């Protein structure tokens, strides 16, 4: 096999026409290859080197070895950012995948004005995340529409809604659930408090903007499911629920895996909503690894620490890399029979 490939390569360079075509092809590819080598491979290798140094952007990097990687085990802010993002990934990926699948199945069914509803549902995904973030910033104000909506709902039952500062409330989900039972989780055990109200508000915004994109992907995958399978199932007496769980979901396992992986990578890299809405607050309950890397690397809250930031970036990359095969093992298991 190797000899065949080598002979083909040598024949290309012996043939003048084939040689000119090969050179022309490489010339067309050269701008992309040059940019990739310089700004992707080159920057990646430099970041690896920087992660083993102390570098403040203004002086020569000083080699410190594995110092930054070892310190990650005792870095409370970094560990807290990972816990925050883990909550975020579990809740957001689960809900956005389920909602996207349900919407896709709904819009794939025979109905009037199908294209209109598809366009309306997809609209949030084509809007800039910065614009969406500022819209939700206004919605989440104490005098915003979210509190106004809940006040109207509560008033129907004769109760009064206490306005919540959605983007500045550090109370955790588990803390709120256990509080009526007299259980108080101390601040030292922040990891047991669960995602804060502010963090859940940002989760809702992310779900709102990402579900439409994944819905379109599910819709495209549903077009490839043979209708004969549903017809045969109907003849055998299977109802709609059984057809959904026994035919639709198994046939969509490959695209479910893709969406879960894309969603996981996106949630672990969440940045813009945090930067625009909370800057990691309140009390670090919305701090994420990417925002921590950004703020420490560029010196937002102190002197720049590029070595620290680079090491945390590679640790985050390793975490994402570990999650992918685990997800593939559980989601695609048994797909080959379909």
Per-residue confidence (pLDDT) for residue 4, from 0 to 100: 55
Per-residue confidence (pLDDT) for residue 287, from 0 to 100: 95
Per-residue confidence (pLDDT) for residue 24, from 0 to 100: 86
Per-residue confidence (pLDDT) for residue 302, from 0 to 100: 83
Per-residue confidence (pLDDT) for residue 333, from 0 to 100: 61
How do the domains of the chain map onto residue ranges?
2-50, 76-337
Please report, in tens digits, the pLDDT of each residue of the chain (338 residues total): 445 545 555 566 677 778 788 888 888 888 888 888 888 888 899 999 999 999 988 888 999 999 999 999 899 999 999 999 999 999 999 999 999 999 999 888 877 777 777 778 787 778 888 899 999 999 999 888 999 999 999 888 888 888 899 999 999 999 999 988 888 888 888 889 999 999 999 999 999 999 999 999 999 899 888 888 888 988 888 888 898 888 888 899 889 988 998 999 999 999 999 999 999 989 999 999 999 999 999 888 888 999 999 999 999 999 988 887 877 777 666 555 44
CA–CA distance from 189 to each of 73, 192, 195 (Å)?
A: 17, 6, 13
From CA 96, how far away is CA 202, in angstroms rounded? 13
Chain centre to alpha carbon of residue 239: 35
- Tokens, residue 290: 């990417």
From CA 247, how far away is CA 255, in angstroms rounded? 14
From CA 100, how far away is CA 121, in angstroms rounded? 10
Per-residue confidence (pLDDT) for residue 114, from 0 to 100: 72
DSSP for 170-227 reads --BHHHHHHGGGT----GGGGGGS-SBHHHHHHHHHHHHHHHHHHHHHHHHHHTTS-H
For residue 307, give the nearest of 108, 16, 73, 53 by alpha carbon. 53
For domain 76-337, give the fold.
MetI-like fold (1.10.3720)
- Tokens, residue 157: 């039952």
From CA 299, how far away is CA 282, in angstroms rounded? 20
Per-residue confidence (pLDDT) for residue 11, from 0 to 100: 62
For residue 280, give the nearest of 76, 87, 80 by alpha carbon. 80
Per-residue confidence (pLDDT) for residue 10, from 0 to 100: 57
pTM: 0.85
């Amino acid at each position: 096999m190797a000899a065949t490939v080598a002979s083909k390569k040598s024949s290309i360079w012996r043939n003048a026409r084939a040689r000119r075509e090969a050179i022309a092809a490489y010339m067309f590819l050269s701008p992309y290859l040059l940019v990739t080598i310089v700004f992707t491979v080159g920057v990646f290798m430099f970041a690896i080197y920087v992660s083993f140094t102390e570098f403040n952007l203004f002086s020569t990097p000083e080699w410190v070895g594995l110092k930054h990687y070892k310190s990650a085990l005792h870095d409370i802010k970094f560990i807290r950012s990972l816990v925050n993002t883990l909550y975020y990934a579990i809740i957001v990926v689960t809900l956005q995948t389920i909602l996207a699948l349900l919407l896709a199945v709904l819009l794939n069914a025979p109905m009037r004005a199908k294209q209109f509803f598809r366009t309306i549902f997809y609209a949030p995904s084509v809007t800039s995340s910065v614009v969406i973030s500022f819209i939700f910033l206004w919605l989440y104000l104490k005098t915003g529409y979210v509190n106004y909506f809940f006040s109207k709902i509560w008033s129907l039952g004769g109760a009064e809604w206490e306005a919540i500062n959605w983007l500045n409330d550090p109370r955790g989900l588990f803390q709120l659930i256990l509080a009526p039972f007299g259980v108080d989780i101390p601040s030292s055990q922040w990891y047991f408090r669960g995602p804060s109200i502010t963090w859940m508000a940002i989760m809702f915004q992310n779900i709102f903007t990402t579900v439409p994109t994944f819905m379109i992907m599910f819709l495209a995958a549903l077009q490839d499911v043979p209708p004969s399978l549903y017809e045969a199932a109907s003849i055998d007496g299977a109802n709609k629920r059984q057809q959904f769980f026994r035919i639709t979901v198994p046939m969509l396992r490959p695209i479910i895996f893709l969406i879960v992986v894309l969603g996981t990578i996106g949630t672990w890299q969440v940045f813009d909503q945090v930067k625009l809405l909370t800057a990691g607050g309140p009390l670090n309950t919305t701090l994420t690894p990417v925002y921590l890397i950004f703020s420490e690397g560029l010196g937002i809250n102190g002197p720049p620490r590029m070595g620290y930031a680079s090491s945390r970036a590679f640790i985050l990359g390793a975490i994402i890399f570990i999650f992918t095969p685990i997800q593939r093992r559980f989601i695609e298991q048994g797909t080959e029979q379909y």
